[in-house]
Amino acid sequence: MIIEEIMKKNVITLAPNDTIATAIKLMDENKIRHIPIVDVNQHVIGLISDRDLRDAKPSILDFTNHDKKLDTKIKEIMVRNVITGHPLDFVEEVSAIFYENRIGCLPIESNGKLVGIITETDLLHTFVQLTGANQPGTQLEVKVPNRTGTLADVINVIKEHNVNIHSVLVYPDKDSQYKILVLRVQTMNPNKIVEHLTNEGYAVMWPHSSGIRS
């Protein structure tokens, strides 16, 4: 999956000469936490986050009049070396960028122009969809030998029971000779599949076999 498919395309932006007060208002109204700052060519030259604004705001314990300070221009406080992404970047790569740089959003540029934005929340939501957790289904966890073709064998068992699969995740096990398969299957009754897999010698970790009685 590429970023273009999940990024927000209507990006709210400000110019470097807009004021801090404007930025505060814009974030409140749109319930957002980041605003890219662009020049006249829509090129990203800075970014402000709700945290930058909080730092710029006077303390709530300070009762003197600070209205003037909120008229300060954004360019005075914005972050300048902004990390940006490209519409064709892969979702997995971008997740790694978020993690490594500890950032909360990534403006997306194409030909030096802002075309979208993606936030941590968008990424997380995408991963929820990739796990299939938003579709009615049951989750199966199977510990399998780390060997070519095992996934196909397990999936063939599920196919025999005429059950559709929403998603498959393959996790490494603590022991590198094994993998954990997490399958979301579209059925309310996984018992026959569990029994079949167990009979084939697979270790079904969930649903617990103790929960099944015949």
Partner 1 sequence: MTNEAVFVYSDQLLKYRFSQDHPFNQTRVMLTYDLLKSLNLLNDSSLLSPRIATDEELELVHDPRFIEAVKLAGEGKLSEDRAQGFGIGTEDTPVFPGMHEASALLVGATLSAVDHVMSGKSNHALNLGGGLHHGFRGKASGFCVYNDSSVAIRYMQQKYNVRVLYVDTDAHHGDGVQWTFYDDPNVCTLSIHETGRYLFPGTGNVNERGSGKGYGYTFNIPLDAFTEDDSWLHAYRTSFKEITEYFKPDVIFTQNGVDSHYYDPLTHLSATMRIYREIPKLAHELAHQYCDGRWIAVGGGGYDIWRVVPRAWSLIWLEMIGKSDISGELPKDWINRWQPKAKFALPSYWDDEPTIYPPIPRKAEIEEKNALTVTKALYPIRQK
Residue of the chain from 72, 146, 186, 200 that contacts partner 1 (CB under 8 A): 186
Q: For residue 72, state whether it binds partner 1 (rule: CB under 8 A).
A: no
| Per-residue contact string for residues 130-169; x = within reach of partner 1 by CB under 8 A | ---xxxxxxxxx-------------------xxxx-----
Least distance to partner 1, CB of residue 213, Å: 6
Three-class DSSP category at 146: coil
Contact predicate 127/138, CB 8 Å: no
- Give the one residue of 68, 191, 198, 200 binding partner 1; rule: CB under 8 A: 191
Sheet holding 178-185, edge to edge: 165-172, 178-185, 138-145, 203-206
> Interacting stretch for partner 1, rule CB under 8 A, among 24-32, 37-45, 90-98, 204-212?
204-212
Among 8, 133, 19, residue whose Cα is nearest residue 78: 19
Residue 203's H or E segment, with its range, is strand 203-206
Nearest residue to 182 via CA among 200, 198, 166: 166
> How many helices (H) and strands (E) would you count in the chain?
7, 8
Q: Where would I find the beta strands (DSSP E) of 7-152?
A: 34-38, 44-49, 105-110, 113-119, 138-145
Q: Mask of contacts with partner 1, 82-121, x by CB under 8 A? A: ----------------------------------------
CA distances in angstroms from 197 to 23, 141, 156, 207, listed in the order given = 57, 11, 10, 12
Span interacting with partner 1, options 22-30, 90-98, 170-178, 203-211, rule CB under 8 A: 203-211
CB of 183 to partner 1, least distance (A): 11
Q: What is the closest distance, in whole angstroms, from the C-beta atom of residue 133 to partner 1 in the complex?
A: 6
The binding site for partner 1 (CB under 8 A) comprises 133-141, 161-164, 184, 186-189, 191, 206-208, 211-213
